[in-house]
């Protein structure tokens, strides 16, 4: 193959991996300690609902106050999470604890960013749970695990792969 053709094939492989990763087909390597489930009921009022693999991201109870505060500030600031419900008078303001507020903000960020494990890291301050942390009038968004959503995402990934292949073939010929 010519150098140009090799570069195109290499680019397509990278694009294919990226698209497949976004579609959830290829999981990035993780450290062993990051895949160990952390049992938590954050906030403690959470119920025991677990339906069809739905996940939420909450603050890890063992995280330091400083780490939780820094992660909360980032999630509600540069991270772009809508933390308006954490303001006084908001549905999730009470109980006014760092752990509860961080859990709500972490989950908003996690849901807005595709429910990927990395979107719930927060420097080790976040943890994925299968128990709905909603309480009272404070409802935590849940991950979308419906077949329709998965099918739509795979359809978009397939379309992008076909388009990239056609472009590459056009460049080679």
pLDDT < 70 positions in the chain: 1-7, 9-52, 144-173
Instruction: Give the other-Cβ count within 10 Å of 110's Cβ.
Output: 28
Q: 164 with 15: CB under 8 angstroms?
A: yes
CA distance 64 to 155: 42
Burial 64-80 (b: 16+ CB within 10 A, else e): eeebbebbbebbbeebe
Q: What pLDDT is attached to residue 21? A: 59
pLDDT of residue 143: 73
How many whole angstroms separate alpha carbon 68 and alpha carbon 72? 6
Query: Within 10 A of 55 (CB to CB), how many other CB atoms are there?
Result: 18
Condensed to tens digits (0 to 9), the pLDDT of residues 111-141 reads 999 898 899 999 999 999 999 999 999 999 9
pLDDT at position 122, please? 96
- The H or E element that residue 128 is part of is strand 126-129
The pLDDT value given to residue 139: 96
Residue with tokens 């150098």: 3
């Amino acid at each position: 193959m010519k150098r140009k053709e090799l570069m195109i094939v290499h680019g397509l492989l990278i694009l294919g991996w990226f698209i497949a990763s976004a579609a959830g087909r290829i999981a990035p390597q993780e450290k062993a300690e990051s895949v160990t489930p952390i049992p938590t009921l954050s906030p403690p009022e959470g119920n025991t609902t677990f339906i069809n693999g739905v996940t939420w991201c909450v603050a890890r109870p063992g995280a330091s106050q400083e780490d939780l505060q820094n992660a909360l500030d980032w999630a509600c600031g540069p991270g772009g999470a809508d933390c308006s419900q954490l303001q006084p008078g908001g549905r999730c303001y009470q109980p006014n604890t760092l752990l509860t507020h961080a859990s709500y903000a972490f989950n908003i960020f996690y849901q807005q960013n595709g429910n990927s494990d990395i979107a719930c890291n927060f420097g080790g301050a976040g943890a994925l749970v299968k128990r709905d942390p909603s309480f009272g009038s404070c409802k935590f968004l849940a991950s979308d695990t419906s077949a329709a959503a998965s099918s739509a995402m795979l359809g978009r990934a397939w379309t992008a792969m076909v388009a990239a292949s056609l472009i590459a073939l056009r460049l080679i010929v």
